[in-house]
Copies of this chain bind each other. A is one copy, B any other.
């Protein structure tokens, strides 16, 4: 099954828009895991097992594994999720951006070595930095569009002047990326976009440009994004279309032996808050 098909199934079957981000930082692990050689795998697989029923996707962030020399544990983790929770697609958050044979090697890394269902990529180098991933026609490619951080505005919100087409008013850089993704780059139907929760009006604008394209939405919780505003801005007509990411609030809900149960509770609460927001949104 393709990434987008899996995602649609997960939205329906789990009735959840929650993406659980797996950003394992050993300095914040429960003391019970200290000293274990496979502590990253042990921690993340316990979190995955505890939260899978509340999630539409898992999103491991590769930097947390690479900085710890733990690529083998990332392979084992994704294999574990595929085996135990085959309903839940895995997005490898790697924000790759390169061209030609280099991009082919990155695609091989993410889709063959790690067997991820989707990957995040940067649009700065243009279509030929996206294209090599599209040769895996069932895998998802999620392009950075409008990110939730302060510096996101340094480039993404700049106005673009070069259109002489009076029928097309000037647009901002993130709007151009959304339009390129929706109109020109989506040859497989498996593209998505990253749009932060901290700019609901811009999230709404991306939704308007892209139809029902899946949006990966970081920035709720610690970064200050509001769940209701994000759902109003980003949900599709059928109340799906979003993977709303939460990482730290779930992973580090407790540092004691009950960390997995605490993570499950935090995931359930976020899923429920998203469900309530969808209900309100659809009743408007």
Contacts and interface: CB of A to CB of B under 8 A. Distances in A.
Interface of A: 23, 25, 61, 63-64, 66-67, 69, 71, 95-103, 105-106, 108-109, 112-113, 122-131, 144, 147, 149-156, 158-162, 170, 173, 176-177, 180
Given A123-B124, A124-B156, A162-B159, A23 B151 contact: no
Contacts of A161: 159-161, 170
Stoichiometry (number of copies): 2
A191 B121 CA distance: 23
Contact of A99 (B113, B128, B149): B149
A19 B184 CA distance: 35
A15 B97 CA distance: 32
Nearest to A150: B128
B126 A154 contact: yes
A126 B149 CA distance: 9
A59 B208 CA distance: 42
A125 B144 CA distance: 9
A161 B158 CA distance: 8
B129 A149 contact: yes
Contacts of A99: 147, 149, 151
Contact of A113 (B66, B123, B160, B177): B66
A90 to B, nearest CB: 17
A153 B125 CA distance: 8
A5 B109 CA distance: 34
A180 B160 contact: no
A180 B154 contact: yes
B126 A124 contact: no
B128 A151 contact: yes
B125 A152 contact: yes
Nearest to A170: B161
A149 B99 CA distance: 7
Most B Cβ at <10 Å: residue of A95, A100, A103: A95
Nearest to A149: B99
A216 to B, nearest CB: 14
Nearest to A151: B126
Given A63-B98, A95-B97, A126-B155, 4 more contacts: A124-B124, A129-B151, A131-B151, A158-B173
